[in-house]
Amino acid sequence: MIRQFFIALSAICMLSCNAATEPTDQRVSNLIEQEDWFTLDTEYVSLRPHIKDTGVRLTADAMLSYLQNNPRKSIAYLDTLLTRQFYRKNRETYYRLSMLKCRMLNTIGRYCEATILLGEMTRLRKAEGAHEQDWKPLEAFQAQNKSLNHLPGPALQLPNKDVSIPFTLRSMQAKNQDAWVQKAKKDFKGYLLTVGAHMNGHPLQMVFDTGASKTFLSEATAKRLGLHFLPDTITLNGYQQARRAFVDSLRVGEITYHNLIVYVGISSLNELIGTTIDAVLGLDFISAVGETQILFDQQRLLFPRKQTPLPASGRNLYLQKVPYMRVNQGNEHLTMVFDTGDTTGSLYYPYFDKHRSEILQSAEKDSIAQVEYGRVYIREVYMLPRFNFHLGRTPVNIEQVYVDPKPNGWVSTVDGRMGMDLVHRFRKTTINLRSMFISVTP
């Protein structure tokens, strides 16, 4: 869906600029089409006053607000776009932008509005005589959304002071007796960061996971806590069925997040690894809080009352279900997923494709066993002995990073992923989802 949204944004700009030759409009349109969000953000302050086409400007405004974790502002821009007659005529663009608006309405708890909009899109599709495959998913999404209509929206309760809590590093390693590990030269291993929390008053340990768009529980844990399950199932990662449940309160330290919708999935993952993962603290909570500092040497998480100012190096983070950070390797800009639920670091096919000859000369062919929600699988990779880059103005050196030599389905601008293999090398990691930056302190 996210990929379709960006295609829709590109289509708007291309259609708007067909008759225009304004260089500024064309520049903004090109950056959107190329999905070069960091460059667009950097240049937009100077470009915006010179944009002639209203559609191009509103599209860029909506996109940047969305990526910078400001759904209310993005919804306002989308409302203006969606009421323009041009977009009513261009149905595909209208549907895709409307679907994004629905998802953001759900994020901020305006469930009834999202359900009504989904119903409107379904009726329009049917009235146009569209094929069932074009309106059936909308109808199903509307039915799912109706189960949220009676629920209150999320609300964050913050104390007027810094909140500091201890964390534990939990070893995560495949069980060597499993047959699938024997097919790989290396099994996945490393450490995950876990924190104590209370859900509906019950204590539990949760993995701090910036790579999880939602807070997640195992089915056994959800039942133990007596959560109210919603009457439907959803699909995660395109293949794994899960349920949803309503949580009255999630307390982490002295921070309380009310009215949370959590994902509830299978518990079989725990049988494949050498530790139990019953709960994941996801990006819904982390982004709502705004800033988290991982004080690694103290083994504490700090949620500061006063947000850290944007560093001189500027924004290097955007949010698209998960955080994406910009790093620099020499004169080259790279886009990396920042995922504290990943014990290692990895590079994707786009990076391999750009650095093929260098990798083939210095890396060794290898195979690794990996785990993700609902499955474990073997990947054929190249293992780089080291990977160096700058995050902001700080140099980072990672040993043994694997590179995927095959396309993996990610958008073409994503070069890789960094997780705990990055975090554990620094005394402090600051994740700010208000001013949109990540910084590390040696």
Q: What is the pLDDT of residues 268-290, one digit of tens each?
A: 445 444 456 789 999 999 999 99
Q: Residue 17: pLDDT band by 50, 70, 90 thresholds? A: very low
Q: Residue 11: pLDDT band by 50, 70, 90 thresholds? A: low
**Which CATH number is associated with domain 317-441?**
2.40.70.10
The token pair at 105 is: 């309405």
**CA 28/CA 60 separation, integer angstroms:** 8
Residue 300 identity: R
**CA 5/CA 96 separation, integer angstroms:** 6
The token pair at 47 is: 């470009």
Paired with 376 in beta bridges are 371
- Look-up of token digits 């939602």: 214
Give me the pLDDT at residue 34, please.
86
Give me the pLDDT at residue 173, please.
57
Least Cα distance to 141 among 101, 173, 169 occurs for: 101
Give me the pLDDT at residue 371, please.
60
All structural domains of the chain with their residue ranges: 2-108, 155-291, 317-441
Looking at residues 411-434, what average pLDDT do you find?
91
Tell me the helix, strand and coil percentages in the chain, rounded to 5. 35, 35, 30
Query: Per this entry, what is the length of the chain?
Result: 442
Give me the pLDDT at residue 239, please.
60
Looking at residues 321-330, what average pLDDT do you find?
94
Does the pLDDT of residue 347 top 90, yes or no?
Answer: yes
**Candidate ranges 14-23, 216-225, 275-284; pick with highest mean pLDDT:** 216-225
More confident residue, 407 or 251: 251
More confident residue, 212 or 180: 212
In degrees and rounded to multiples of 5, residue 176 shows phi and psi of -65, -20
155-291 topology per CATH: Cathepsin D, subunit A; domain 1 (2.40.70)
Per the CB < 8 A criterion, the answer to whether 184 and 178 are in contact is: no
Looking at residues 179-207, what average pLDDT do you find?
74
Does the pLDDT of residue 55 top 90, yes or no?
Answer: no
Does the pLDDT of residue 24 top 60, yes or no?
Answer: yes
Does the pLDDT of residue 291 top 70, yes or no?
Answer: yes
Identical fold at 155-291 and 317-441? yes
Least Cα distance to 314 among 389, 390, 392, 391 occurs for: 392
Q: Residue 178: pLDDT band by 50, 70, 90 thresholds? A: very low
Q: Residue 21: pLDDT band by 50, 70, 90 thresholds? A: low
Q: Residue 65: pLDDT band by 50, 70, 90 thresholds? A: very high
Does the pLDDT of residue 177 top 50, yes or no?
Answer: no
Looking at residues 246-251, what average pLDDT do you find?
97
Query: What's the Cα-to-Cα distance from 50 to each of 16, 56, 62, 63, rounded to whole Å?
Result: 15, 11, 17, 18
- Determine the 3-state secondary structure of 386 from DSSP: strand
Looking at residues 222-230, what average pLDDT do you find?
92
Residue 206, number of CB atoms within 10 A of its CB: 24
Does the pLDDT of residue 136 top 80, yes or no?
Answer: yes
| Burial of 403: CB neighbours in 10 Å, binned 0-12, 13-18, 19+ | buried
